[in-house]
A and B are shown apart, each in its own frame.
Chain A
């Protein structure tokens, strides 16, 4: 029997054709435009545009704060996911719903709200600035914004894996005389680890490209608190399309690499837990 004849359900060709055309027109061809535009540059010109001191400083800030924020989210996101799955406490349903807030809240709204909290007259700023600390309009402000937008990625990747974890393993560990901490370290954590790493990578990927929530609180001081997406905007405003596109290509290459890593991690998660994602 041929492959097509085994398909009982209709619509394969239609849905395949439609999906591919729509995907190509709206996503693939426009993305290809960046590479085609950049190919007009020689390798040296490309290197020159993408490694000016200001752009290099922006990579350092974007990548550094994104990594830092993803790390913080991995730790606290794991604790939050653990609390939501394993414990009952008042207000749990509400907390569980609101964890997704950064997915639903427009980034510009988050950005101005965070700036209002951490600037000189804000709730947090008015307490810490007299003590000589400054968060808004410094790299620390960027970090706070990236923690905000990345948290749900970790919680929502770890939570289902933790829920599906078989308690028999923990019971076996306990009956063999393991302490709770030993059980966590040697039984639970290894099972959660791939999911935790996936959540970390997702939060990192989102944080590197984030624009709206960061731009207000960053202060955008050249060489100090300019993120890489802002460098693209700056070049566009100077009508330097080639320069903007070259930086965009650097960011896209990073996104593709991260996407490959995340896919591999998700494969690892399902092979570890038998969960089909």
Chain B
């Protein structure tokens, strides 16, 4: 979630609480709370994750790889990579620019700007898809002009990229803003006073400080970009082998009752989620290490 790296080093060790009579609970209270939380966690979070992999391999490993090498599956994987490959760099550049602006300068309306950047978080993915239909669709603002010039945005790759950019819009910015705010601007100011150019300052001073947060922001943005379903399903038109992303391919297979194949493709996306969480854990650990060194 937003600001994970910035907050990673704020934690005290649980033992500090358990060693003082004033801040600990009786052992039975402690273990009841742990048992309830773990039961809830396992039932609601762990079970679905295990189910994805169990269902994917239900018909054996051959069926699993057959499902993944199906031409429609391969084309959906390609399209997903293309869409994320365009959307993530766009939001990366925006995230860095917005975080630089918000963390390094004081100006009026800053809080309002932060709220606007957060806006896509609270818009339903279906609405996110709909807004591009209203603009580029056949009855939309630019629809007639686009069809006169034979440019396809909706039900084609550009529409999918636009919808993906919208839903993953705030991720990099939200990860970087708290991190860059916490680091202040003295180091950059010193660099500029010593004669560094703006780009040199960013590259040699700011970037080394934010690289771990930046990495996590990009990885999370990428996971969401590859996994987006609602917004993309509105703008894609779901043309098989052409405008189907991986999540849409999962839906089609599932609706055709080809469950094992659906879960096989889904398991790739679940793996991506697990890698994302592993990177996050590593990044938090690195942030904690560098905090200890200081």
- The reply to whether A28 and B130 contact each other, CB–CB distance below 8 Å, is no
B156 located at the interface, meaning its Cβ lies under 8 Å from any Cβ of chain A in the complex? no
Q: Smallest Cβ distance from A122 to chain B, in angstroms? A: 8
A117 touching B40 by the CB < 8 A rule?
no
A236 on interface, CB distance cutoff 8 Å: yes
Interface centre among B7, B23, B130 (most CB of A within 10 A): B130
Query: Do A113 and B55 have beta carbons less than 8 Å apart?
Result: yes
Give Cα A124–Cα B26 distance, bound, in whole angstroms.
Answer: 34
Task: Determine whether the beta carbon of A26 is less than 8 Å from that of B193.
Answer: no
Q: Which of A95, A236, A259 is in CB contact (< 8 Å) with B115?
A: A259
- Is residue A106 within 8 Å, beta carbon to beta carbon, of the partner chain? yes
- Are A87 and B281 interface neighbours, CB within 8 A? no
Complex alpha-carbon distance, A175 and B198, angstroms: 55
Which residues on A sit within 8 Å (CB–CB) of B233? 233
Chain B interface size, under 10 / 10 to 19 / 20 to 34 / 35 or more: 35 or more
* A-contacting residues, B223-249, CB 8 Å: 223-224, 226-230, 233-234, 246-248
Once A9-B189, A113-B49 are accepted as A-B contacts, the answer to whether A148 and B262 lie under 8 Å apart by CB is no
State A152–B4 Cα separation when bound (angstroms): 12
Within 8 A of A (CB), among B15-43: 15-18, 20-26, 29-30, 33-34, 36-38, 40-41
Are A163 and B12 CB-contacts (below 8 A) given A34-B130, A80-B41, A236-B234? yes
- Taking a contact as CB atoms under 8 Å apart, the answer to whether B15 and A30 are in contact is no
Please give, as numbers and ranges, the residues of chain B lying within 8 Å of A57 by CB-CB distance: none
Tell yes or no: B98 within 8 A of A by CB: yes
Q: Which chain B residues border A76 with CB–CB below 8 Å?
A: 36-37, 40
Check A79 against B10 for contact (C-beta < 8 Å): no
Per-position binary interface string of chain B over residues 44-69, scored 1 when its CB falls under 8 Å from any chain A CB and 0 otherwise: 11111101100100000000000000
Please name all residues of chain B whose beta carbon is closer than 8 Å to the beta carbon of A244 when the two chains form the complex.
Answer: 130
Please tell me which stretch of A47-55, A131-139, A164-172, A190-198 contacts chain B, meaning at least 4 of its Cβ atoms lie within 8 angstroms of it. Answer: A164-172
Q: Contact check: which of B38, B41, B165, B192 meets A9 at CB < 8 Å? A: B192
Q: Which residue of B lies closest to A94 (CB)?
A: B281
Known A-B contacts A9-B201, A79-B36, A83-B33; the reply to A112 vs B250 at CB < 8 A is yes
The answer, yes or no, to whether B210 is at the interface (CB within 8 Å) is no
Question: How many contacts A-B (CB < 8 Å)?
Answer: 315
Q: When the two chains form their complex, are residues A10 and B33 in contact, meaning their CB atoms are under 8 A apart?
A: no
Comparing B121-129, B145-153, B286-294, the segment that makes contact with chain A is: B121-129
> Please, how many angstroms separate the alpha-carbon atoms of A27 and B14 in the complex?
42
- Whether A103 contacts B1 by the Cβ 8 Å rule is yes
- Complex Cα spacing A7 to B125, Å: 39
Contacts A33-B135, A85-B14; A26 near B36 (Cβ below 8 A):
no
28 A-B contact pairs sorted by A residue (CB < 8 Å)? A7-B105, A8-B192, A8-B193, A10-B192, A11-B198, A12-B101, A14-B97, A15-B100, A19-B98, A22-B94, A30-B131, A31-B131, A80-B37, A80-B40, A92-B14, A100-B1, A102-B45, A105-B269, A105-B273, A106-B227, A116-B259, A144-B44, A163-B10, A211-B230, A230-B126, A248-B131, A251-B127, A252-B123
Q: A12-B105, A148-B48 are in contact. List 19 more A-B contacts (CB 8 A).
A: A7-B105, A9-B189, A10-B197, A11-B101, A16-B107, A30-B134, A31-B131, A95-B38, A101-B49, A101-B273, A104-B220, A122-B51, A123-B51, A167-B23, A209-B122, A230-B126, A245-B134, A252-B123, A256-B122
